[in-house]
Structure 1
Amino acid sequence: MTIERRLDNAIRKKYIALRRGFNKPVIGIMGMLGKTSVIHMLSTILSTRGNILSGNTGTGNWQNNIHNLEQLNTNYDYAFFEFAYYRGNNFAELLRLIKPNIGIITNIGDAHLSYLGNMIKNAVEKSAVVKYLAQNGLAILNKDDELSSALSDYIATTNIVKYGLSNGSDFHAADIKFKGPKGMSFILNGKIKVNLPIYSIQDVYNTLAAIACAVNLDFNIQEIVDILEDKFELSKGRGRVIKINKNYILDESYIST
């Protein structure tokens, strides 16, 4: 979708000043799946150390991100911006104004769905958050998503972390097990067992992305796992299991709305 919004110079200067005055982590998230769940996981972790600005997750549009930008102040310790897939010069301007320190790409899609020329073009558009990272920013990419992983050749930053299910990832999951209503377990980086109330492989990827980000915000891996196991549960309508009498229902109602 192409979206065009125009900011006059006075408003643009106001937003630039707001962003420059915020010297704490600004995290931008893009991708076809998992954005809101990654934010929810990261919020669970980061809220143990400070206040979070995140806005209305699931609505990564221009208006919501501008509203978030307007709320940016030193009362917050972390700020999240969730970006839906839009094109256009003014959406690029929005990203330049927000200028995340950390850009997370959950996934872009399958390479075989388009011709090579459009493939790279679409990949860059769908991952614009890493194109407009702050100086020395960090890009967190899904190694198992072909287009996401390939972005490392097309973005300016050399600070890149990859996550996935293969040992070649900086953060990887192995020995994944489904445990019924209790959720899933996996071994993180070949060392740490993780047990969480999640019910899909996509949520394993979401967990890895959140862990990768938190580690780069000076959290210890074991600390992160302990926080998630103690405090995390999926948002309503996003794959949470609900028990009704003796039956269990997988609530995916958000997707159907």
Structure 2
Amino acid sequence: MYLKKIAAIIRGKLIGSNIKINNFSINSKNINNNCIFIAIHGKYFDGHNFILEAINNGAKALIVHKYVSVYIPQIIVNNTTLSLGKISAWKRSKYKHCIIGITGTTGKTSLKEMIVSILQKKYNILYTIGNMNNYIGVPLTLLKLNNNFQYAVIEIGGSSYKELVYLSKIVKPNIAIINNIDIAHLQGFKNLFTIIYSKKQIFYYTKHDGIIIFNDDDDNQKNITNNIHNKTIMNFSLYNKNATVYASNIQIQAYIIKFYLHAWQKKIYIHLNLIGGLHHISNALAAATIIIALKNNMTLQNIASGLTDFHPIKGRLYPIFIKKKQIILHDAYNANPKSVCTAINILKNIPGYKILVIGDMLELGSQSKYYHIQIGKIISSAHLNVVFSIGEYTKNIIYNNTFYSKHFTSFTDLIHQLLCILKNQKHYTILFKGSHKNNMDTLINILLKQLPK
């Protein structure tokens, strides 16, 4: 793509030669062949401060919001972040194959990885790496689109109505799915009604004659398809035998999940190598519904094989086995009321001594204290052995509760107390749960280094 074409797409002013560009980057350290560096101006950083580094690493051109005195061509725009979105929207418009759009409150990344695990056995696919699902990550993924990819699987997150509309407009999926809806990011959404309406935007922006898929078990999606026209509607359910895809004969054991998946008036046995929870089955059904919606040559056997090959993702109920019957569950990538409840329900059903280390659920705005108190009530009924909390709002979890608990203000004190308890336990599970900004990764790494080998 030549710079004049890029400048026209983003309505910028080209200064310098009209050279050809093959790659885009916002990371000055990650510059590929014939790459243009987009100087994103964010809340905590300014890409314009890294222009010289980008040039030294091989950048051939720049997209900037102000003129810079350099020897390579530059395109000047009003907003580099919006320009990133405009280029990715143009790339999407040229893509001839199917894009799958995924959104929801929890489990988006796990669902995406399940779909990828099934599809990549037969097809060349582009998909969201990690959790790059926001107003920066989604456009960066779409910039990699070309028609050699037979499918694209795009995860769409967001912390406000505006962001979800923006991303849904860019992605314009052929098939869209909402796996669940619940309370999260209240600082941006304010209330559950706004969350539901915001998630629904992906259905509005699904391509004409596309397919939309909803979770029939989710009370917050009961009317989610109202006023959606010219789209095929499909659904999945743990219980409803009238759903497009449903489950039966569910068996949840400590480290294995078994059930029958029903679709196409057939059924197939599914074996998931995951620490138990109904949410895993729901995600598996959602992934299967996507595959069925594609109407390609994949079979139920392909679906079952892909699901069996799916493994836990770090930070999402990821098991770390210390010794036999000694496990750390790393579930600290993110936290909202629904995901915390899910994790606690899983912990309480695992045999042995049960310890919960919980950090703050963030971005709940003025309702933070309320939801942390509610989580405390759920913990009280879970009959755990020990609950340790760290953070500002988790003090409300242990307030006026009857289980053995302690609140900490430092990692050092928490680890010391934890090690004292573990000395006398041969069979235990420790669940670490909290929002990413709690730095629970660091806490887990400190513990792992100090545990006896």
Bin for the TM-score computed over the shorter chain: 0.7 to 0.9
1:186 has 2:259 as partner: yes
SS at match of 2:282: helix
Change (3 A) 1:92 1:187: same
1:99 alignment partner AA: K
Query: Residues 250 and 37 (structure 1 numbering): CA distance in 2 closer, same or farther, change over 3 Å?
Result: farther
Identity in percent: 28
Distance 2:141 2:304 in 1: 29
Q: Secondary structure at the match of 1:233?
A: coil
Tell me the secondary structure at the aligned position of residue 156 of structure 1: coil
Alpha-carbon displacement from aligned partner over 1:169-216 (angstroms, at most 9, x marks no partner):
2111122112222x1101212732211112211111100000110122
Aligned residue in 2 for 1:196: 272
Q: Deviation at 1:82?
A: 1.5
Residues 74-109 of structure 1: CA deviation (Å, up to 9, x unaligned) = 232221221223435565243222100111101113
For the 8 Å contact 1:142–1:163, the answer to whether it is kept is yes
Aligned residue number for residue 173 of structure 1: 247
Judged with a 3 Å threshold, the aligned counterparts in structure 2 of structure 1 residues 95 and 175 are, in CA distance, closer, same or farther, namely same
Preserved contact between residue 139 and residue 157 of structure 1 (Cα < 8 Å): no
> Residues 9-61 of structure 1: CA distance to partner in whole angstroms, max 9, x if unpaired?
x973x444311221111111111111000001011011112222223332421
Say which SS state the counterpart of residue 216 (structure 1) adopts: helix
Structure 2 distance, partners of 1:169, 1:129, is: 21
CA gap 1:227/1:17 in 2 versus in 1, 3 angstroms: same
Of 329, 333, 338, the match for 1:251: 329
Q: Name the SS of the counterpart of 1:152 in structure 2.
A: coil
CA pair 92-237 structure 1, distance change in 2 beyond 3 A: closer
Q: What displacement does 1:147 show?
A: 2.2
Moved over 6 A (4+): none
Mapped partners of 2:205, 2:287: distance in 1: 20
Query: Does 2:282 match 1:205?
Result: yes
Partner of 2:82: 7
CA distance in 2, matches of 1:137, 1:33: 24
Task: Give the number of the structure whose alpha-carbon radius of gyration is greater.
Answer: 2
Q: Distance in 1 between matches of 2:80 and 2:223?
A: 30
Structure 1 window deviating more from structure 2 (161-170 vs 48-57): it is 48-57
Counterpart selection for 2:291 from 206, 209, 214: 214
Task: Return the letter of the residue paired with 1:192.
Answer: I
User: 1:225: how far off?
Assistant: 0.7
- 1:19–1:98: 8 Å Cα contact kept in structure 2? yes
Which of 43, 46, 64 is the equivalent residue of 2:119?
A: 46
Cα distance in 2, alignment partners of residues 186 and 11 from structure 1: 42
What amino acid maps onto 1:208 in structure 2?
Answer: L
Residue 71 of structure 1: SS of its match in structure 2? Answer: coil
Q: 1:76–1:248: structure 2 CA closer, same or farther, 3 Å change rule?
A: farther
Is 2:146 the partner of 1:73? yes
Quick one: distance in 1 between partners of 2:165 and 2:216?
25
Contact 2:236 2:285 in 1 (8 A): yes
Q: Secondary structure of 1:175's partner?
A: strand
Give the corresponding residue for 2:302: 223
Indicate how the Cα distance of structure 1 residues 5 and 188 shifts in structure 2: closer, same or farther if over 3 A, else same: farther
- Name the SS for the 1:144 alignment partner: coil
1:106 aligns with 2:183: no
Cα 1:5/1:17, change in 2 over 3 Å: closer
Query: How many corresponding residue pairs?
Result: 244
Q: How far does residue 128 in structure 1 lie from its aligned partner after superposition?
A: 1.6
Structure 1: tracts of 5 or more residues without a match: 111-117
Letter paired with 1:246: K
- CA–CA distance in structure 2, aligned partners of residues 162 and 39 of structure 1: 17
User: What residue in structure 2 maps to residue 146 of structure 1?
Assistant: 219
Distance, in Å, in 1 between the alignment partners of 2:85 and 2:182 is 35
| RMSD between superposed Cα atoms in Å | 2.6
Structural mapping, 1:12-91, within 5 Å: 12=86, 14-89=87-162, 91=164
Q: Tell me if structure 2 keeps the 8 A contact 1:6–1:90.
A: no
The answer for the alignment partner of 1:241 in structure 2 is 319
Bigger relative contact order (CA 8 A; separation at least 6): 1
Going from structure 1 to structure 2, the CA distance change for 1:86 and 1:245 (only over 3 Å counts) comes to: closer
Deviations 1:121-155 (A, max 9, x none): 53121232112101111111000102224212132
